Amino acid sequence: MIDVRTPNEFKSGHIKGAKNIDAFSANFNAQLEKLDKSKAVYVYCRSGARSRQSTKKLSALEFTEIYDLKNGILGYN
């Protein structure tokens, strides 16, 4: 589970077990490339926009099982 919000947003509350990889960070793609492509990846942000963009990047990096939390953490809570 990947939370693509900023570190401050992550600290304000996140889904248990989520890893924070800030979509706005300069090394975002490099951090994504370190993930295991053979495993399912679950992505979320605040409302869905950043996670939608992140799933496109994951797909371009040849991840095959990608899930985007609809409406982000706002929809989850």
The alpha-helical segments, DSSP class H, found in 2-65 are 7-11, 28-33, 49-60
- pTM for the predicted model, two decimal places: 0.93
Q: What is the mean pLDDT of the chain?
A: 95
Of residues 77 and 70, the one with the higher pLDDT is 70
3-29 mean pLDDT:
96
- 35 vs 77: CA distance, rounded Å: 26
Q: Which residue has the tokens 């495993």?
A: 39
Taking 80 as the threshold, does the pLDDT of residue 64 lie above it? yes
Helix (H, G, I), strand (E, B) or coil at 76: helix
Per residue in 21-58, pLDDT tens? 999 999 999 999 999 999 999 999 999 999 999 999 99
